[in-house]
Structure 1
């Protein structure tokens, strides 16, 4: 049965209802899915900003300062900090809320740490649903801070409207950390801790790499900032707003969201199919026997795939 009270409280911007629903989402509770189905029409209003980059880049401190500046404008902020998962409790291991402790008492800011729970790509499995909850809750901006594990940090581009790539000088081979797929996803590049030696060189190297990239009307700006010194924060906010304005004006905002929705639906279908296959496997020995047949070369993997699909159809 749908919890109408929880749904109504969320629509009214109740923080506790928001926290409760995100917890239900993380636990893949059917009640949470039913509420999201009912309230989905209230999503799509928040500007979703991905904060990504290598570990030690100061992503949490930067997110904290960006949120505080937007709060001065009267904006309601949601923050999802995706952390590595504890192998013992299954909870998030770093707890980025510690770095944003003074924001937790702000009634206009909601912060949630989410463990990856083995999910690759830099995000948690429940991130998409948590974003919807915060959107319905009434957040104007939703920051999604990825776990920070290097070149696998590409899922954020399938979720965010604007991706901020955070780099710092002094991490060794700087450009190696942002090459290939990760380099492609940044809409804005921030060289954080720019008071350190090598900041100019890091910014120049990023600019040089951007020279080789094709730009669809938007060349990602490279901003030197220092979250701890509170410098460059206003410039980052300005560029975030400029990026959204550019995307809306050129029609790319709608296209990006359409692509993200398409990918989300396909992922949901894939997850459902995997659940159905796992159930079939538990209910009968048919799938287990297929594995053995492939191992002993009595069957090939492609035929086994077709047989599993036929089983799911039954």
Structure 2
């Protein structure tokens, strides 16, 4: 862990909307500096006001361009936007590459926009946890919309998308067979689909493929499964498909309207409250695991050479160290 910092002072500055303080807070969270949990705890009561939007999909779908266009749409509505762009880790520095920020261009200079790239390097809490906590800080800093943009469709990215209130899956006509896209797990996290670069051939075909797949899935779901208890039609969300050309802002207003409609649906059906309550429990679980991992690492580092070289099987050694760990807990 890094050296401790003044969590109370930094929390106050973040709550006051200071971008530099927010940047420092996210760095402390990402690096798991000593005191980062105290920072999150102090700001916990200020979270829950921002709408969180996940944007995911395969590489090359134009997610960053779409994110930029959506951000401009929100700026026109005088809304503040925080963006967490999950980048690949640089093999040389261990930090996030700035491709997303470069693609978003002049947005980074807008006073109502805060962009943060998160490296996909491993940490005790994991990338999904660090990203959620960065979103918490943006929420506490007063940003009205927090967009979580992920690089690809791996498990970490899907975990991040699930933490959003609404998740948009972005595809392009040349992505190939829509069925293959669904096999990547995208259908499981999607609340709506966007076919970007829809001025290219194949956009209508892809839309039809997605619509057919969704109709089959809805038909096969048991009553109450998709629409919640009772499975009432008004409680069932039918995922819209929007065609956009984000580079020209075409279809972005419609995309934003679908995002608003989904959020209203979540709120009216009680799912927003239920989902956020479940998300808080996941965070508590993540925090517990992270604490346990740190304790286990301390036990491992404190183990004597005689213990480690005792010739015991890996499982017997792990059991012995775990027993020592439990004894330590009893003594505290």
* TM-score, with structure 1 as normaliser: 0.90
2:272 to 243, 246, 253: 253
Partner of 1:85: 89
Q: 1:78–1:134: 8 Å Cα contact kept in structure 2?
A: yes
Query: In the alignment, is residue 166 of structure 1 matched against residue 170 of structure 2?
Result: yes
Offset at residue 175 of structure 1 (A):
2.6
Offset at residue 271 of structure 1 (A):
1.9
Query: In the alignment, is residue 277 of structure 1 matched against residue 301 of structure 2?
Result: no
Quote the Cα distance in structure 1 between the aligned partners of 2:82 and 2:113.
Answer: 6
Partner of 2:253: 234
Partner of 2:232: none
2:240 to 221, 235, 240: 221
Q: How does 1:1-314 map to 2 (within 5 A)?
A: 2-118=6-122, 123-150=127-154, 153-179=157-183, 181-213=185-217, 214=221, 215-216=226-227, 217-285=236-304, 288=308, 293-294=312-313, 301=315, 307-314=320-327
Cα shift readout 1:256-307 (whole Å, capped 9, x = no counterpart): 11111222211221122122112211110487469x6446xxxxx5x76654
SS, match of residue 219 in structure 1: coil
Q: 1:151–1:182: 8 Å Cα contact kept in structure 2?
A: no
Quote the Cα distance in structure 2 between the aligned partners of 1:263 and 1:173.
Answer: 34
Q: 2:63–2:149: 8 Å Cα contact kept in structure 1?
A: yes
Stretch moving more, 251-260 or 3-12: 3-12
How many positions carry a matched residue from both structures? 307
Q: 1:308 to 1:208 in 2, by over 3 A?
A: farther
Quote the Cα distance in structure 2 between the aligned partners of 1:146 and 1:54.
Answer: 9
Stretch moving more, 12-21 or 73-82: 12-21
Unaligned runs of 5+ in 2: 228-235, 328-332
Cα shift readout 1:167-207 (whole Å, capped 9, x = no counterpart): 11112334313325321110010011101111111111111
Cα shift readout 1:91-116 (whole Å, capped 9, x = no counterpart): 11243110112111111110011101
* TM-score, with structure 2 as normaliser: 0.85
SS, match of residue 53 in structure 2: strand
Q: 1:304 to 1:264 in 2, by over 3 A?
A: farther
Quote the Cα distance in structure 2 between the aligned partners of 1:158 and 1:37.
Answer: 22
Stretch moving more, 130-139 or 166-175: 166-175
Of Structure 1 and Structure 2, which has the larger fraction of its residues in helix?
2
Quote the Cα distance in structure 1 between the aligned partners of 2:135 and 2:307.
Answer: 36
